Structure 1
Amino acid sequence: MSELRDMLGEVAEQAKVYDVTGRAVRVARRRRRAARLAPVAAAVAVVALGTVAVVGLRPDPPVGPAAVAVPAVDWLPDRLDVPASGPDPLPASGPVDRGVLVYADLRPGGPAPVLLTEDGRQYRLAEPVTSAQGYSHTRPTLSPDGRWLGEQRDGRYVLRDLTGTARHQLADGFSPVAWSPESRWLLLTDNLDENAPPVRLDVTTGERRPVTGADSERWTPVAVLPGGDAVFLGIPKEPTRRTNLELRLVDPAGDAEPTPVQLNLRWHLRPMESVGTERPRLSPDGRALLFSVVEVADPEQGMPGLDHGGELIRVDLTTNEVRRIALPYADRPGQPVPSPSRAAVRAWWTEPLGYLPEGVLLRLHTADGAGDALQVLDPATGVVGTVTELPARGPTVEFVWPRGS
């Protein structure tokens, strides 16, 4: 542990993130935080020594379904049924049941989002709030344990305990970024004030802290660790393929300088590939990040999303392993979707929604919408299981947000 602490100090010195004044005090504080930041410190050590384990560009062939159980998620229903008439509104107070997912159409004039709870009931949420340009500046969110619902309501952003009576309110315009895996912290940004720092909300106490120390033009918030540190991802200054990533870990409750983490993924990407712009997903134990990988011919023309084809790449911050995860193929019906990318001439694509204990939760999109589904992918084996069949695509289920996403 002492070698690890020394290495953190050396890397920080090389990265020039600490001033000379008061350095001894900051070093002592960093060492007290070493146990909590040990998984991330390992990632910093990887940068210093260059010892990331290369697993290869392609994952090992998945084990046959006869040998490996198909992953399942027991809190998701086998099928999502949309009622013929609109459901009753969510009661203004009092407990209902833990949430499972929210589905919605956030276009102007669309119906209100709908909450599905564990007991199978559906409730209409508040009407979506949209800007003058017709874009929604917020969305509902459910904590990973399904207990907390966040939504824009009556000119406030409200976090409500679905199993009790507790509630927290923030100003209009706040929008969720990510939950911590154990459902204690919610990281939010203010979409009505681009200069305001993100806020970390402790739902157990209602305490909220601004997360300072990361310039919004240079860094974007992407996750919050179980210990409460906010994770920021560096934004490239110019359009370029993203092969070397910069992270910063910021403790809102302390005065220590942000902890720098650099990830060199160049050797894990093909010449025309780049890390995508989708928000990385944090593993349930808070030790690994899941990034998208896409093929891009000309970064100056924009970065394609996974709807144009791509895979996932998993970076383990404790074992230093970097491995590719192929997104599943589908035999669902539908005509190919027109796309400028050769990889996207297909009738379907998959969208990562969350990183659950059971695996990576995906939404399968099909060209005609008749075969959409929620699936779960075991990242260790590549085995995929269909969890929830979705109704034929329509505006009502254009967006589906399972809890924790």
Structure 2
Amino acid sequence: MTGLRDLLIEEAGDARTYDVTDRALRVVRRQRMMARLVPAAAALLVVAGLIGVGVPFGGKDDQGPMPTVAGLPGRLVPQASPPVLPEDRGVGPAALAYLGGDGDENRWVLVAADGSQYRINGLIVDGMSPDGRWLLMQRPDGSKVLRDLTGTARHEFAGRDTRSGASWSPDSRRLVVQISDGSAATNSVVTYMIDLATGERATVPLDPALSDRVCAVRDSGVLVLCPSPEASFTGLRLADGTTGRVIRDIPAADLGLRPTEAVLAELGTPVLGPDDHTLFIGTHETAAGGRNRFLVGFDIDSGRLTERYPLPDRIPAAQRSAANGGVEYGQPDERYVLGIHADGPLLLHIAPSRSDPFTAGSVSIELIARDTGALRTVTLVSRPITLIQYPG
């Protein structure tokens, strides 16, 4: 998963202190806080994976009739009083999940493939398998619950913190989670590989000296490791999902990055596409007048860059004088990389409210078409939905 996933993981970390209503409100407040950052801190937005997206390859955003994408609704509207997600029966695979509502009604809601909506009380949505069958949630104490949405099977993961979010194999057969004991003294992290067909759970003995985190898992069980901010190696590593042994290093230069100017850890989490071999990575290049951003596709098997989508800067935010004498910045018009569909990358479009440019909200899900590079709206999103989780 993506920069959006990193933001959700950060939010999940607050679960140990705040109840579900406060956690949801903190998500919205965090968005507003990030939108007010002064220009000198703008680079931090890249860390959170907030990258503005224009029309790739010079294509025109000629909408015409809104296209449809398999598995996504044409319009996403919050249900006024959705029922609680039942524990005693399945509801069918998920299409997505969203965080929305006003005041005390902030909550996560699951949208099933048939369009029905279910309220998730007291838990944070931490991920969904690519086929929508499995839902991973986090409790206020930091422990995790894995739920089969087509039945009643459940798996529990004790722990106080996580190093990264869930990583699902494209075929939905494997799940990797990393659980920390939450101790600043030991910072002990356990990496679990779960076979979703059998429920078998195995521990992957990754070398703790690498300071790497799992950011993707292939159908074969091979792990893609991303560097942590303190790591000296700025590229990717591939590791055996059984022994934990590193089997290949992928230098930053192979990913289209300049090691002296770009560190992969600053660019959000790479996303493995449904083809099981293309990693989509947010990159930037320093150029006259600023940085040019791109979303590139790196083929793990061939070791080549196979796709490249220009990502222009965000549309500037409104600004006003702050009470402390500084400048307060509103919500810019920007996109998150939401996930990778078979038809192309999906983006979550976040924009300021027309009535209040200092209030943010989701307005649409957009698709970068691989055949033409055009950016097209595929799902219209009604406020007050603020965040969306997409399977995979």
TM-score, normalized by length of structure 1?
0.66
What is the Cα deviation at residue 236 of structure 1? 5.1
Aligned partner of 1:134 in structure 2 is none
1:116 aligned partner, one-letter code: V
C-alpha contact (below 8 Å) 1:70/1:383 kept by paired residues: no
Aligned partner of 2:147 in structure 1 is 160
Q: Distance in 1 between matches of 2:147 and 2:160?
A: 17
Q: Distance in 2 between matches of 1:358 and 1:74?
A: 9
Cα-Cα RMSD: 3.9
- Measured at CA, do residues 107 and 246 of structure 1 come closer, stay the same or move farther in structure 2, by a change above 3 Å? farther
1:250 aligns with 2:239: yes
Q: Distance in 2 between matches of 1:229 and 1:274?
A: 23
C-alpha contact (below 8 Å) 1:180/1:186 kept by paired residues: yes
1:373 aligns with 2:364: yes
C-alpha contact (below 8 Å) 1:184/1:203 kept by paired residues: yes
The alignment partner of 2:208 has SS state of coil
- The Cα offsets for residues 305-331 of structure 1, whole Å up to 9 and x where unpaired, read as xxx98321221123333243123799x
1:355 aligned partner, one-letter code: I
The alignment partner of 1:104 has SS state of strand
Q: How many residues align?
A: 312
Q: Distance in 2 between matches of 1:113 and 1:229?
A: 32
- Measured at CA, do residues 391 and 358 of structure 1 come closer, stay the same or move farther in structure 2, by a change above 3 Å? same
Aligned partner of 1:104 in structure 2 is 99
- Measured at CA, do residues 216 and 114 of structure 1 come closer, stay the same or move farther in structure 2, by a change above 3 Å? farther
More strand by percentage: 2
Aligned partner of 1:181 in structure 2 is 170
Out of 267, 277, 284, the position equivalent to 2:274 is 284
Q: Distance in 1 between matches of 2:255 and 2:231?
A: 22
Q: Distance in 2 between matches of 1:83 and 1:245?
A: 44
Q: Distance in 2 between matches of 1:191 and 1:256?
A: 17
Mind listing any 5+ residue stretches in structure 1 that lack a counterpart? 1-57, 129-137, 298-303
C-alpha contact (below 8 Å) 1:101/1:115 kept by paired residues: yes
C-alpha contact (below 8 Å) 2:239/2:247 kept by paired residues: yes
The alignment partner of 1:265 has SS state of helix
The alignment partner of 2:389 has SS state of strand
The alignment partner of 2:125 has SS state of coil
Out of 209, 230, 236, the position equivalent to 2:223 is 230
- The Cα offsets for residues 280-327 of structure 1, whole Å up to 9 and x where unpaired, read as 001112112111124679xxxxxx9xxx98321221123333243123
Q: Distance in 1 between matches of 2:238 and 2:382?
A: 40
Aligned partner of 1:260 in structure 2 is 248
1:212 aligns with 2:197: no
Aligned partner of 1:314 in structure 2 is 297
Higher relative contact order, structure no. (Cα contacts within 8 Å, ≥ 6 residues apart):
2
What is the Cα deviation at residue 147 of structure 1? 0.9
Q: Distance in 2 between matches of 1:224 and 1:375?
A: 25
- Measured at CA, do residues 123 and 328 of structure 1 come closer, stay the same or move farther in structure 2, by a change above 3 Å? farther
Mean CA deviation greater in 168-177 or 111-120:
168-177
Q: Distance in 2 between matches of 1:64 and 1:110?
A: 35
Percent identity of paired positions between Structure 1 and Structure 2: 28
Aligned partner of 2:158 in structure 1 is 171
Q: Distance in 2 between matches of 1:207 and 1:174?
A: 22
Aligned pairs for 1:126-165 within 5 A: 126-128=121-123, 139-152=125-138, 156-165=143-152
Aligned pairs for 1:375-394 within 5 A: 375-392=366-383, 394=384
1:121 aligns with 2:116: yes
Aligned partner of 1:21 in structure 2 is none
Out of 335, 359, 376, the position equivalent to 1:350 is 335
What is the Cα deviation at residue 336 of structure 1? 2.5
C-alpha contact (below 8 Å) 1:71/1:383 kept by paired residues: no
Q: Distance in 1 between matches of 2:157 and 2:225?
A: 22
Q: If you compute each CA radius of gyration, which structure gives the higher value, 1 or 2?
A: 1
- Measured at CA, do residues 127 and 249 of structure 1 come closer, stay the same or move farther in structure 2, by a change above 3 Å? same
Q: Distance in 1 between matches of 2:140 and 2:335?
A: 35
C-alpha contact (below 8 Å) 1:115/1:125 kept by paired residues: yes
- The Cα offsets for residues 92-133 of structure 1, whole Å up to 9 and x where unpaired, read as 1212121111112699976331111111111111313xxxxx
Aligned partner of 2:71 in structure 1 is 75
The alignment partner of 2:311 has SS state of coil
C-alpha contact (below 8 Å) 1:72/1:376 kept by paired residues: no
C-alpha contact (below 8 Å) 1:326/1:382 kept by paired residues: no
C-alpha contact (below 8 Å) 2:122/2:140 kept by paired residues: no
C-alpha contact (below 8 Å) 1:375/1:386 kept by paired residues: yes
C-alpha contact (below 8 Å) 2:331/2:351 kept by paired residues: no
What is the Cα deviation at residue 186 of structure 1? 1.1
Q: Distance in 1 between matches of 2:70 and 2:193?
A: 30
Q: Distance in 2 between matches of 1:102 and 1:115?
A: 4
- Measured at CA, do residues 349 and 208 of structure 1 come closer, stay the same or move farther in structure 2, by a change above 3 Å? same
- Measured at CA, do residues 290 and 216 of structure 1 come closer, stay the same or move farther in structure 2, by a change above 3 Å? farther
1:259 aligned partner, one-letter code: I
Q: Distance in 2 between matches of 1:154 and 1:370?
A: 25
C-alpha contact (below 8 Å) 1:325/1:379 kept by paired residues: no
- Measured at CA, do residues 399 and 229 of structure 1 come closer, stay the same or move farther in structure 2, by a change above 3 Å? same
Q: Distance in 2 between matches of 1:59 and 1:101?
A: 25
C-alpha contact (below 8 Å) 2:127/2:166 kept by paired residues: no
Q: Distance in 1 between matches of 2:98 and 2:61?
A: 34
- Measured at CA, do residues 370 and 278 of structure 1 come closer, stay the same or move farther in structure 2, by a change above 3 Å? closer
Q: Distance in 2 between matches of 1:378 and 1:105?
A: 28
Q: Distance in 2 between matches of 1:59 and 1:154?
A: 40
Q: Distance in 2 between matches of 1:403 and 1:177?
A: 11
1:149 aligned partner, one-letter code: L
